[in-house]
Amino acid sequence: MTKVKKRKLSKKIKIVLFSLIGILLILSICVTFPVFFKSSRVETNNPSVNEEIDPPKLKILDLNSNSRPIAVMINNIGVAREVQTGLQDAYMVYEIIVEGGLTRLMALYKDTDTAKIGSIRSARHYYLDYVLENDAIYVHWGYSEFAMNDINKLKVNNVNGLIYGNKYFWKDNTLKVATEHRAFSSMDLIQKGMEKLGYRKTTNEKPLLSYSVQAIDVSKLEGAIPANHIDIRYSKIVTSSYDYDAEHEIYKRSINGKAHVDAVTKEQNTAKNIITYQVKNTTISGDYKGRQDLDTVGSGKGYFISNGYAVPIKWSKESRTARTVYQFLDGTELKVNDGNTYIQIQPVGEDLTIS
Residue 219: the pLDDT is 97
Residue 56: the pLDDT is 83
This prediction has a pTM of 0.85
> How far apart are the C-alpha atoms of 92 and 211, rounded to whole Å?
12
**What would the pLDDT profile of 324-352 be if each residue is shown by its tens digit?**
999 999 999 999 999 999 999 999 999 99
Residue 318 · residue 297 · CB < 8 Å = yes
Residue 5 has pLDDT above 70, yes or no: no
Residue 337: the pLDDT is 98
For each of the domains in the chain, give its residue range(s) and CATH number, in order of start.
Answer: 70-354 (3.50.90.10)
What CA–CA distances, in Å, run from 205 to 136, 139, 288, 324?
10, 19, 39, 14
Residue 150 · residue 128 · CB < 8 Å = yes
Tell me the helices (H) and strands (E) count for the chain, helix number first: 6, 24
**What would the pLDDT profile of 246-274 be if each residue is shown by its tens digit?**
999 999 999 999 999 999 999 999 999 99
Cβ contacts of residue 161 below 8 Å, gap of 6+? 120, 140, 141, 142, 168, 169, 183, 185
- Which of helix, strand or coil describes residue 121? coil
pLDDT tier at 55 (50, 70, 90 boundaries)?
Answer: confident
pLDDT tier at 9 (50, 70, 90 boundaries)?
Answer: very low
> How far apart are the C-alpha atoms of 38 and 207, rounded to whole Å?
36
Residue 291 has pLDDT above 60, yes or no: yes
Lowest mean pLDDT, pick from 6-10, 52-56, 270-274, 323-327: 6-10
H/E run at residue 229: strand 229-233
Percent of the chain with pLDDT over 70: 85
Lowest mean pLDDT, pick from 45-49, 68-72, 303-307, 312-316: 45-49
Task: Put residue 34 in one of left, alpha, beta given phi > 0 → left and psi -120 to 50 → alpha.
Answer: alpha
Residue 211 · residue 304 · CB < 8 Å = no
Lowest mean pLDDT, pick from 6-10, 58-62, 131-135, 239-243: 6-10
